Amino acid sequence: QLPEGVQWDFDVENWLNPYQVSHYAMDIFEYLKERERLFPIGNYMDRQVCLSPWRGAREWMRALLVDWMVEVQESFELNHETLYLAVKLVDLYLTKMTVGKETLQLLGAASLFIASKFDERIPLMVEDLYICDSAYTKRELIKMEINILKIVNFDLGIPLSYRFLWHYARCAKMSMPTSTLARYILEHSLMDYTMIRFSDSKMAAAALLLVLLMKDLGGWNPTLEYYSGYKLNDIRDICNLLNQSLHRKHEEALKTVHSKYSHKIFFEVAKLPLKETLDI
């Protein structure tokens, strides 16, 4: 029996489609939400003094690294899950280890290397990473790969906001342009250090809420609440922060995500007008 106000049972509608695994879908995403607590990311930037004496510069360097990782993902046509996992590996590593600025790009490259092995049918090869202009050796890349895997205890089944978003959007039967706008918001947020403290499932829900408000499609509804497990109060503040993040003017060096989602293949969603204030 569905809760009052839920418009449809997406899983029942797809019950006979083996690719939707409707029998287990709710359990799978509940399990992923439970696993989020296994991968806590701390407020690590205060410890990363080797990057720069100034905290603002450290956050800028992280944003620059993520922007570069998006560029690599585009260049090699990697899955979006690969990008999200790689950024998560960077943050998990920096939560426990201190690095210098000369090591930061190596960390990003090794994280992409690991994530591509986990998520791609044809993963990156060591030789592919010439994109770093020989900033490090093959031996250094493999050593960093080992160090990262030790930090996460070789557990790469990390819940990702991209997968939660995909699930929520499908269950709400959102159009491709609408769900693509939510993907843009999430990918843009990867550069924002202030967002790392929120769980991926909440980030996905908040991005979807922001899209509904930006496109005047109504607010949070019982269907989304049912499939996400979050009430409006759980994601209101995150939604406001995501909107503020979109309004920040980035330097030319941080334009990769905006440029990517300004393309016709992504419905030019980055060009859509932003909401000055949110009525939530």
Where are the chain's structural domains? 41-152, 161-271
Please report which helix (H) or strand (E) contains residue 190, including its range: none
Question: Burial, 250: exposed, middle or buried (Cβ in 10 Å; 0-12, 13-18, 19+)?
Answer: middle
Give the pLDDT confidence score for residue 249 in this predicted structure.
Answer: 76
CA atoms of 54 and 48, how far apart (whole Å):
10
Residue 133 has pLDDT above 70, yes or no: no
Whether residue 3 contacts residue 9, with contact meaning beta carbons closer than 8 Å, is answered with no
**What is the pLDDT averaged over residues 215-243?**
97
Q: Write out the E strands in the chain.
A: none
Give the pLDDT confidence score for residue 274 in this predicted structure.
Answer: 96
CA atoms of 33 and 193, how far apart (whole Å):
21
Interval 39-65: pLDDT, tens: 999 999 999 999 988 888 999 999 999
Closest Cα to residue 106, out of 139, 67, 76?
Answer: 139
Higher-pLDDT residue of 76 and 250 is 76
**One-letter amino acid of 16:** L
Whether the domain at 41-152 and the domain at 161-271 fall into the same CATH topology: yes
Give the pLDDT confidence score for residue 129 in this predicted structure.
Answer: 76
pLDDT band at 132 (very low <50, low <70, confident <90, very high): low
Question: Which CATH superfamily is 41-152 part of?
Answer: Cyclin-like (1.10.472.10)
CA atoms of 151 and 97, how far apart (whole Å):
9
Question: Quick one: how many helices (H) and strands (E) in the chain?
Answer: 12, 0
Give the pLDDT confidence score for residue 258 in this predicted structure.
Answer: 96
Whether residue 280 contacts residue 219, with contact meaning beta carbons closer than 8 Å, is answered with yes
Q: Which residues contact 81 (CB under 8 A, 6 or more apart)?
A: 115, 119, 160, 162, 163
Residue 35 has pLDDT above 90, yes or no: yes
Three-state DSSP at 110 gives helix
**Encoding tokens for residue 40?**
């806590």
Give the pLDDT confidence score for residue 131 in this predicted structure.
Answer: 62
Residue 253 has pLDDT above 80, yes or no: no
Residue 146 has pLDDT above 80, yes or no: yes
Closest Cα to residue 149, out of 127, 117, 123?
Answer: 117
* Structural class in CATH, domain 161-271: mainly alpha
Average pLDDT, the chain: 94
φ, ψ for residue 180, nearest 5 deg: -70, -35
**What is the pLDDT averaged over residues 190-198?**
97
Q: Residue 241, Cα to own-chain centre: how many angstroms?
A: 15
**What is the pLDDT averaged over residues 228-233?**
98
Question: Burial, 135: exposed, middle or buried (Cβ in 10 Å; 0-12, 13-18, 19+)?
Answer: middle
Closest Cα to residue 185, out of 249, 245, 234, 268?
Answer: 245
Q: What is the value of pTM for the model shown? A: 0.95
**Encoding tokens for residue 215?**
């496109």
